[in-house]
Structure 1
Amino acid sequence: MSFDSMRCPRIALVALLVILCWIQAAWADEHSHRYRDSEEVVVWMNTVGPYANSQETYEYTQLPFCLGSKDVEHYHETLGEALLGVELIGLGADIKFAQDRQNTTLCSTILHSKEINLFRYSVRNNYWYQMFIDDLPIWDYVGHIDDQKPTPDLYLYTHKTFQLSYNGDQIIHAEVASSNPVLLPSHLDGTLSIDFTYSVEWTETSDPYSTRFSRYLDSDFFEHKIHWFSIFNSFMMVIFLAGLVILILMRTLKHDYSRYNIEDNLLDLDRDLGDEYGWKQVHGDVFRRPAHLSILSALVGTGIQMGCLILVLLTYAIVGDLYTERATLLTVGIFLYALTALISGFFSGSYFAKYGGKNWTLTMLVTAGLWPGSVGIVSFLVNFVSISYSSSKAIPFTTMLAITAIWCFIVFPLTLLGAIMGRNWSSEPNFPCRVNPIPRPIPEKPWYAEPSFIIMASGILPFGSIFIEMYFIFSSFWGYKIYYVYGFMLGVFVILGIVTACVAVVSTYLFLNSEDHRWHWTSFFAGGSTAFYIFLYSIYYFQVKSKMYGAFQIIWYFGYTGLACFGMFVLLGTIGHLVAERFIRRIYTNVKID
């Protein structure tokens, strides 16, 4: 072997080591959360907006703030960041790891009357901004109001003191304190010169890196005894309701079976003279193909997909602390939805085949576009409002293209594949009873057996089981609290599913006992009616519990709350419908039908 041939692998190895060392040095920043002494620490300014409206946010530079000379660019690192309107801009402060700085000038600016009025408006409406240091969020107000005088004075904070704690080569805590207020005059003919300054105070701490997000978690709020009591109360409701349903139905069905067996042994004349009523009378129509089968199949398939998605997402959120990374939960949810599109296609195709459906193309298209279409319509409306307000919540065009590409190249093909699998793998219609060629007339029934009453009454108990949890969820998603007790949410989700199933069984039995065979859509709406009460609660929360105001926040709040309620309607309606179908199959299998 020649010397040159031996030298080439060594040169390649050395080059590889150099590249690895360079990559390691490049990653020794906020992405790795490790810093060397005197290494630059970037302060990212995110958005600014009114405190009362958590979703009305604007880019930091839409207010006439100036930035330092340090120029650092940031790009959307995840899809969730772009959808949530994360707009990070480097403050430009010269901050070095573990090095204090005192009264350093960040930048200077000259304000004219227009810029002063912008600052006065923001201070008057309690605007505050969010920033990140090593992915740790920090909030502070733009200024403050001195209302001791008949005409309140408005002040702008011009100095920031960054209080940072570190353990070894990692940042553990980050806080900011604003000071040096400058009066914003209400009338100014000339200009106002402002100097923005900052200080940095580093302190060493023994707190481990794993606990650095603990200070953001409001354990006194989320782990309050009322929260625990609500979970216990809901659990006891499930036990009581399930036991009551089993007891009543077992006794009632046993009585029905005994009566029907006696009637079967009677002569035809005696049977005609008898008082025939009940669910057995509709055995020839109960398995009739429901109206709008394609839509119902798409709803059932989408509901099963959403149930699987929520279970996987909540389990993942419990195992991994997703709240420590910006928009991670949303990003994971989007890709999990895309990957589980196979589930919705399979079950919608299987359900469609079970009732002998023929228009497969329509069913597949409705399944693929039901939830994405609903999200798209709401997002388009909200995004139109966001653009008109020049808000940072406006979704960029490139992000829209990325979402469309996910649907075209992942969701749609997987839904099509799932529908083909569901169609080919499902068996022929196999019902316990034959379907009569002519539908049975539906007799008049009392008001409490009408579909409208059964549907509205069915949602009361399931909503009662999650009523307390709704307050915690709304306070988190429409406020500034970080929701981290996903174990509570998973438990409440399971309880809600069980209560919905029990209520669906009872309501379906009452419906069939009134000799009405149109149970398919009724059971679906009965299970999904809880979403209507959730939306009513959202109105109550907006009016009573929150301080939100303005058209922008109203459209954002009710747009996405309504979308979430529609998702709950599809999910809970699917649970109610499938459990009701299982119950009907069971009772008609165990009874002798002529």
Structure 2
Amino acid sequence: MRLSTSRKAALSALAVALASPLQAAAWYLPGSAPHSYKQGDNVPFAVNALQAKAFTSQIKGVIKYDYYHPGFQFCVPEGGPQAQSENLGSVLFGDRIYSSPVKAAMLEDQVCKEMCRKEVTTENADFINDRIREEYAVNWMVDGLPVAEARREVKTREEFLSLGFALGSTEDEHSRPYDPPALHNHYDIYIDYHQRGPNEYRVVGARIYPLSKASLRGVAIGMTPNCNAADPVQLSNQTATNVAYTYSIRWRESSTPWATRWDAYLKVFDPRIHWLALINSVVIVSFLCMMVGIVVARSISRDIYRYNAIDMNEDVQEDFGWKLVHGEVFRPPNRSMLLSIFVGSGSQLVAMAAVTLIFALLGFLSPSNRGSLATVMIVTWTLFGSIAGFMSSKVYASLGGEYIKQNAILTAMLFPSLVFSMVLMLNFFLIFSGSSGAVPFGTLLALVSLWFLINVPLTVIGATLGVRSGTFTHPVKVNSIPRQIPHQQTWYLQPLPSALIAGMLIFASAFLEVLFILNSMFGTKFYVAFGFLAFAFIITAITAATVTILFAYFHLCAEDYRWHWRAFMTGGSGAVWFFAYGLFFWATRLELPGLANKVLFLGYLAILSLLFFTLFGAVGFLATYASLRKIYSAIRVD
């Protein structure tokens, strides 16, 4: 039985990934079937939204602009731009893909091909010059591949393919400043092709070298632009400027097969830094696990032996330390319904993150399928509503809750409403700013439909199953009268200091991956180190669990039995440092002009911090709950 072309490509990618595990942190399967061309066939170009990139040292904006925004006055294809279909994740991340006026024919070189001529008004000149100063990048694609610009890392001088190319330049090749900036209006494009068979070719790479050329200066009206012009095009804010957009295309044969054509884009940048950070995280986790092990093996085991000793000596039989509060430790906390809702929502996020990382590690989230990562996250979150309902109702019932129906409805509505309202508020700012990143009404309607038609029923079903499965068993009974908590507590056991100390350790486990993700969101590189990310996620979860257990033990030894909310806060306290680092990232790597940019960045950071808090807060609470049930089941209570 003969394999299809796409299956051959998938098996080829799988073989390459398995054969070289040390060169990449993740491998992938191609996300779409390959397209073969014959000589002279049209090779389609497409355009995407413009986004500010950190071409130098700082990112100067977070607002995306549609490629055919009237302010840019770019050339449009004959018959007008045609929108291409996009998935849910692609739309949410601001991708707006349209057809391009660039025309390419397989193996046919073109020199100084004119796209169009534009008269840039003074108003549009100011708009374009501001975007050039903010280092906005133009995004083109050919046969689904980004048309990339080769750049070098400032520190290591290592070459990488930048996502998008600069709209213009603020200085010449001798680092002398342009005033006003120079607009890139000529593009030298080099397309790599791989010959698969007789008159069968595939596109496997595309590089671009944008240039600024005053190609209409000294050229009579109706004559061909001069693509060898030495002077740049500078848009004046005093008079209109005539600009000719031109391009040259050259074809280069490559030995790279189609199945591995993304490897040049998906290079894991300086993997040694990842390994050093992960080794550091492993050391932290090992140290914490060792501390918890010592506490459990020595302190708790010794205490249990003394508590269970059959001796009439009152000094031995007298309760002290964490046993002294055995009748209070499982007393329901204040606002137990709210706590159980957040635990259920956090459990849903844990399941979503785990399954998404598994899909990414197996290579199903190919970068050629734009937005696939976000799409999988949304779909898995929707389908895992049953986990949220199950865990929330089970925890709520175990804490003595009686309003099961209200708990199920609030679990399905509260946390999603909070996130959705934040997204909706940011969407208004995007619309007000004229950004292409604004989510269309139809997409918002699709999200609401997924929420109410799938997630809510699944949450209710999960809640029903959680109630029927019964409550978590508690090994000791709760006293009828609450025990008084000592007023004097060590300073590091106070709620805020203990949370900050624990959060510092938790965030340290994930720090480097957070940095790379932020650089990928606002920078010029793909983030594809899913192997490192999965490892960091596991380490961070273990750190959150062990730190929370350790601090809960300290609190109980201090006769403070209010561990429920503290365990959740301690586990999620890394979000405080996450938000603080985001502000530091803003101060050192971002230049955000205008109110809209500032509000958008703070809004994105707040949403990420909320997700971080809820996810690892649930991990900390569930780990502590399980450990306390285990510890108190080992003592004999008279």
- TM-score by length of structure 2 reads 0.82
Who is 1:60 aligned against? 67
| CA contact 1:68–1:107 (8 Å) conserved in 2 | no
Aligned-partner SS, 1:371: helix
Note closer, same or farther for the CA distance 1:246–1:391 as it changes in structure 2 (3 Å cut). Answer: same
Q: Does 1:469 align with 2:513?
A: yes
* One-letter amino acid of the counterpart of residue 58, structure 1: Y
Which of 235, 238, 257 is the matching residue for 1:208? 257
Instruction: For residue 215 of structure 1, give the secondary structure of its aligned residue in structure 2.
Output: coil
Letter in 1 for 2:619: I
Q: Say if 1:213 and 1:341 are closer, same or farther in 2 by CA, change over 3 A.
A: same
Deviates more, 1:547-556 or 1:241-250: 547-556
140, 151, 175: which is aligned to 2:207? 175
Aligned sequence identity (%): 30
Cα deviation, residue 506, structure 1: 1.2
**1:528, distance to aligned residue in structure 2 (A):** 1.1
- Deviations 1:290-330 (CA, angstroms, capped at 9, x unpaired): 22121111111111111111111111101115333211100
Indicate the residue corresponding to 1:99 in structure 2.
108
Are 1:244 and 2:265 counterparts?
no
Inter-partner Cα distance in structure 1 for 2:450 and 2:592: 34
Q: Which residue of 2 aligns with 1:140?
A: 165
For residues 95-494 of structure 1, the aligned pairs below 5 Å read: 95-138=104-147, 139-146=164-171, 152-168=179-195, 169-182=201-214, 183-186=233-236, 188-189=238-239, 191-221=240-270, 223=271, 225-261=272-308, 265-266=311-312, 270=314, 276-320=319-363, 321-427=365-471, 430-447=473-490, 448-494=492-538
What is the letter of the counterpart of residue 298 of structure 2? R
Q: Give 5+ residue unaligned stretches, structure 1.
A: 1-29
Query: Is the alpha carbon distance of 1:284 and 1:248 closer, same or farther for their aligned partners in structure 2, counting shifts above 3 Å?
Result: closer
Pick closer, same or farther for the CA change 1:317–1:101 going to 2, 3 Å: same
1:479 and 1:114 mapped to 2: Cα distance?
28
Residues 39 and 359 of structure 1: is their aligned pair in 2 closer, same or farther, counting only changes over 3 Å? same
Residue 569 of structure 2 is matched in structure 1 by 525
Structure-2 separation of matches of 1:436 and 1:501: 28
Residue 9 of structure 2 aligns with which residue?
Answer: none
SS for the counterpart of 2:68 is helix
Partner Cα separation in structure 1 for residue 394 and residue 237 of structure 2: 71
> Contact 2:503–2:574 (CA<8 Å) still a contact in 1?
yes
Which secondary structure state, in structure 1, belongs to the residue aligned with residue 328 of structure 2? coil
Aligned equivalent of 1:90 = 99
Aligned residue number for residue 590 of structure 1: 634
Structure 2 stretches of 5 or more lacking a match? Answer: 1-31, 54-58, 148-163, 196-200, 215-232
Q: In the comparison of the two structures, how many residue pairs are matched?
A: 557
Larger radius of gyration: 1
Amino acid paired to 1:61: Y
- Residue 569 (structure 1) aligned with residue 610 (structure 2): no
In structure 2, what residue type is equivalent to 1:179?
L
**Distance in 2, Cα, partners of 1:375 & 1:421:** 26
Task: Report the Cα distance in structure 1 between the residues aligned to 2:281 and 2:207, rounded to whole angstroms.
Answer: 39
Contact 1:294 1:363 in 2 (8 A): yes
By how many angstroms is 1:484 displaced? 1.0
Structure 2 letter corresponding to 1:433: V
- CA spacing shift, 1:193–1:465, aligned 2, 3 Å: closer
8 Å CA contact 2:168–2:212 kept in 1: the answer is no
Are residues 121 and 452 of structure 1, via their aligned partners in 2, closer, same or farther at CA, if it must alter by over 3 Å? closer
TM-score of the aligned structures, taking structure 1 as reference length: 0.88
Q: Assess, with a 3 A threshold, how the Cα gap between structure 1 residues 180 and 464 changes in structure 2: closer, same or farther.
A: closer
- 1:92-150 per-position Cα deviation (integer Å, ceiling 9, x unaligned): 22222222222222112223332333333333333321111111112222222347879
Residues in 2 aligned to 1:69 and 1:312: alpha-carbon distance in whole angstroms: 44
Cα separation, 1, equivalents of 2:317 and 2:256: 81
Tell whether the 8 Å contact from 1:55 to 1:393 is kept in structure 2 after alignment.
no
Matched with 2:156 is none
* Cα separation, partners in 2 of 1:31 and 1:118, compared to 1, 3 Å: farther
Q: 2:78 aligns with which of 69, 73, 77?
A: 69
RMSD across aligned positions (CA): 2.3
Counterpart amino acid of residue 206 in structure 2: A
SS of the residue 1:558 aligns to: helix
Taking the aligned partners of 2:493 and 2:135, their CA distance within structure 1 comes to 53
